[in-house]
């Protein structure tokens, strides 16, 4: 009967032993730290999936398995989004587009050895941890230990785990913040992967120690940071677990402990962190380009000269010409586009100015002063006896205009003219304004100039000037 009583007493004592006494003895006045939380930079889960055939080297197209094989429990592309950085096989890639639930594309194309069936696919989420709490006791010259949950089998291989945070395969940055009674050391703080020296109990936790000098305090707010915001030297967040449900967080328990200078555990508390897939927000913006031509009034200044005529969106009415006298008019061309790679506007004419729209006789395109201008080369045109038809460009706010004259943009200082490219003469339309990015209401003035001589046959002359705006998406 006494023997049975001893057994009962022994069992009763073992039941009241605190869990942390298995590691270090605790004082009887141990208390819970308060207001404890781990604020993650991001609560996004990592991704751990597998390459599936017909994925092939030299291709950008990736298929994934939709059935799990531990620890690869990521079986849908739903958590991925364009721009994500992935490790596939041993190579580094960027997601270009998610096609459907088991297909996506990447850049660059897959290297040899990274497209084999069941090769791993990792997205390594690396959120910084900012752990805050209030102290429970004034413990002089002690240290805080943070225990983050770790995988039981591969806690430090640098790849996402399904049971906890991976240490990351390298070092971890620790950044404590001094507080009243707590001056943190810069040399003795330590980050140790689960299973490493001094980090074996309790099992399956990474250890992060922050040592301080000072008297400590009661109710002091403490901030301890693990990792950094750019993801380097930061633990890797878990991927989905065995029983994960999309849209429902996986939660993990972490511990915060306060030890004294004799390595005795005085105070501690547990906390929870919850990780979940990121929410993919999508929207479609239709590709657009708008292009308009507006008339300019007589008397307005365009390309450093005053307009003699009023144009409309569809006409340049030079009217009755005086001999060897310039007549000037202008249009305002306006472009907007949301194209990633911008736009280009080209100009051409169907033919030179022909009598009654015919091919002969005609008013020839100008060759400017000294015969220096063509459809592709600009030159100064300041002498009205150098007869012909031509144009110049004044940049209002376009990203780029074409051509130069004496080192200056066209019309920056003189009337620098060109011929319109003659389609009937098999000449190539010329770019007059352009951009390599999106454009919001960019303008140029196209300035028309005409002069005729005494030998020009009487009659009505006309042609068609064609502007084409093209965007590049």
pLDDT tens digits, one per residue of 190-230: 999 999 999 999 999 999 999 999 999 999 999 999 999 99
Assign residue 376 a region: left if phi > 0, alpha if psi is -120 to 50, beta otherwise? alpha
Q: Looking at the structure, do residues 165 and 250 belong to the same domain, yes or no?
A: yes
- Residue 253's contacts (CB-CB under 8 Å, 6 or more residues apart) are 149, 270, 271, 272
pLDDT for position 282:
65
Cα 12 to chain centroid, rounded: 61
Q: Both tokens of residue 218?
A: 């009661």
76, 103, 123 — which closes off a domain?
A: 123
pLDDT digit string (tens) for 230-271?
Answer: 999 999 999 988 888 888 888 999 999 999 999 999 999 999
Residue 385 belongs to some domain of the structure: yes
Q: Is 181 found in the same domain as 76? A: no
Distance CA 469, CA 347 (A): 9
> Residue 3: inside a domain, yes or no?
no
In three state form, how does the secondary structure of 331-348 look?
EEEEEEECCCCCEEEEEE
Whether the per-residue pLDDT at 407 is higher than 50: the answer is no
Residues 317 and 438 in one domain: yes
Q: Tally the domains of the chain.
A: 3
- 275, 309, 331: which is the final residue of a domain? 275
Q: Which of 86, 103, 123 corresponds to the end of one domain?
A: 123
Closest CA to 62 of 29, 97, 36: 97
For residue 238, which of 223, 254, 224 has the smallest C-alpha distance? 254
> What average pLDDT does range 173-200 have in this prediction?
94
Same domain, 233 and 149: yes
* Of 252, 266, 331, 346, residue with least CA distance to 23: 266
Query: What is the extent of the structural domain holding 202?
Result: 20-41+127-275
pLDDT, position 9: 29
Given the structure tokens 């010259």, which residue do they identify?
141
Q: In which residue are the tokens 């030998």 written?
A: 455
**Token pair for 51:** 């390459």
The string of pLDDT tens digits covering residues 94-134 is 999 999 999 999 999 999 999 999 999 999 999 999 999 99
Whether the Cβ atoms of residue 261 and residue 187 lie closer than 8 Å to each other: no
Same domain, 375 and 458: yes
Task: Assess whether 160 and 33 both reside in one domain.
Answer: yes
Q: 372: pLDDT confidence band, cut at 50, 70 and 90? A: confident
pLDDT grade for 286, boundaries at 50, 70 and 90: confident
8: three-class secondary structure by DSSP: helix
Asked, for residue 1, whether it belongs to a domain, the answer is no
Q: What is the mean pLDDT of residues 344-363?
A: 94
Convert the pLDDT of each residue in 46-68 to its tens digit. Answer: 999 999 999 999 999 999 999 99
Q: Is residue 12 part of a domain?
A: no
Q: Would strands 85-88 and 120-123 be described as parallel, antiparallel, or unpaired? A: antiparallel
- pTM score of the predicted model: 0.63
Mean pLDDT of the chain, nearest integer = 89
State whether 131 and 119 are in the same domain: no
């Amino acid at each position: 009967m006494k023997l049975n009583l001893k057994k009962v007493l022994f069992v009763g004592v073992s039941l009241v032993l605190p869990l942390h006494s298995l590691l270090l003895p605790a004082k009887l006045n141990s208390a819970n730290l308060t207001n404890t939380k781990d604020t993650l930079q991001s609560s996004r889960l990592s991704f751990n999936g597998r390459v599936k055939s017909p994925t092939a080297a030299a291709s950008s197209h990736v298929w994934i398995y939709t059935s799990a094989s531990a620890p690869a429990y990521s079986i849908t592309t739903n958590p991925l989004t364009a721009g994500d950085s992935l490790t596939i096989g041993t190579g580094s890639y960027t997601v270009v587009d998610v096609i459907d639930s088991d297909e996506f594309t990447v850049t660059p194309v897959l290297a040899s050895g990274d497209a084999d069936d069941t090769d791993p696919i990792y997205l390594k989420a690396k959120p910084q941890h900012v752990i805050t709490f209030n102290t429970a006791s004034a413990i002089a010259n002690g240290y805080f230990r943070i225990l983050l949950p770790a995988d039981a089998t591969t806690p430090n291989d640098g790849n996402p785990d399904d049971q906890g945070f991976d240490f990351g395969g390298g070092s971890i940055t620790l950044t404590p913040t001094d507080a009243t009674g707590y001056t943190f050391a810069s040399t003795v703080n330590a980050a140790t992967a689960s299973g490493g020296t001094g980090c074996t109990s309790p099992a399956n936790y990474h250890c992060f120690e922050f040592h301080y000098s000072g008297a400590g305090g009661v109710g002091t707010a403490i901030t301890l940071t693990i990792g950094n915001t750019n993801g380097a030297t930061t633990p890797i967040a878990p991927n989905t677990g065995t029983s994960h449900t999309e849209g429902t967080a996986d939660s993990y328990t972490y511990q915060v402990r306060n030890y004294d200078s004799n390595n005795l555990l005085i105070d501690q508390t547990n906390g929870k962190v919850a990780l979940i897939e990121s929410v993919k927000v999508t929207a479609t913006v239709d590709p657009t380009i708008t292009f308009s031509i507006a008339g300019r009034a007589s008397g307005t200044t365009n390309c450093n000269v005053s307009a003699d005529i009023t144009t409309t969106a569809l006409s340049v009415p030079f009217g009755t010409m005086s001999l060897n006298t310039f007549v000037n008019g202008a249009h305002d061309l306006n472009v907007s586009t949301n194209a990633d790679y911008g736009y280009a506007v080209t100009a051409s004419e169907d033919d030179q100015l022909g009598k009654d729209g015919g091919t002969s006789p005609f008013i020839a395109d100008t060759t400017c002063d000294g015969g220096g201008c063509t459809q592709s080369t600009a030159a100064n045109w300041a002498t009205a006896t150098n007869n012909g038809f031509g144009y110049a460009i004044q940049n209002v706010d376009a990203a780029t205009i074409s051509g130069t004259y004496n080192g200056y943009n066209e019309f920056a200082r003189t009337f620098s003219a060109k011929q319109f490219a003659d389609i009937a003469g098999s000449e190539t339309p010329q770019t007059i304004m352009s951009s390599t990015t999106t454009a919001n209401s960019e303008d140029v003035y196209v300035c028309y100039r005409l002069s005729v001589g005494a030998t020009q046959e009487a009659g009505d002359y006309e042609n068609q000037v064609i502007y084409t705006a093209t965007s590049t998406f």
